[in-house]
Amino acid sequence: MSVITAASAARLGLATFSVAMALAATALPAAAQDGAMPAAVPAATDDAAKFAKGKDIFANYGCGGCHVLADAGADGHVGPAFDGDPALSHDLVVDRVSNGSGPMPAFGGQMSPEEIEALAAYVTHAARK
């Protein structure tokens, strides 16, 4: 695609310049569809995938045996209830899952950083529903 400068626009005339710009603008979506330019992935899609992965981890690691989280159908009685907890933050969940605290075991050696991140994203998101 060629670059149209203000100087070339003056040579071409305003009408020609406008047509050239319109044609250039319509070529961009086609280029994105044929693979010449990567299409942007919406952040909401990334978040939904991360929340789904986190929900799966919550279920598979038995988190609901100790914690209450309505979105996961969890009604444990050992650890804190997550629903509506204003002190619950993403960083706190990452720390507790990684390092443990009190009766909470550390999972840092069992889960990857990506899994811990997904779990923390899910728990903090679901607790605010």
Query: Average pLDDT in the 92-116 region?
Result: 97
Percentage of the chain exceeding pLDDT 70: 67
Query: Average pLDDT in the 54-79 region?
Result: 97
The answer to whether the predicted template modeling score (pTM) of the entire model surpasses 0.95 is no
DSSP tag of 113: H
Residue 35 — very low, low, confident or very high, per pLDDT cuts 50/70/90? Answer: low
**CA–CA dist 68, 31 (Å, integer):** 49
Domains of the chain (ranges; CATH) run 1-40 (no CATH), 43-127 (1.10.760.10)
Please state whether beta strands 74-75 and 68-69 pair in parallel, antiparallel, or not at all (unpaired). antiparallel
DSSP tag of 3: -
In the beta sheet, which residues pair with residue 74?
Answer: 69
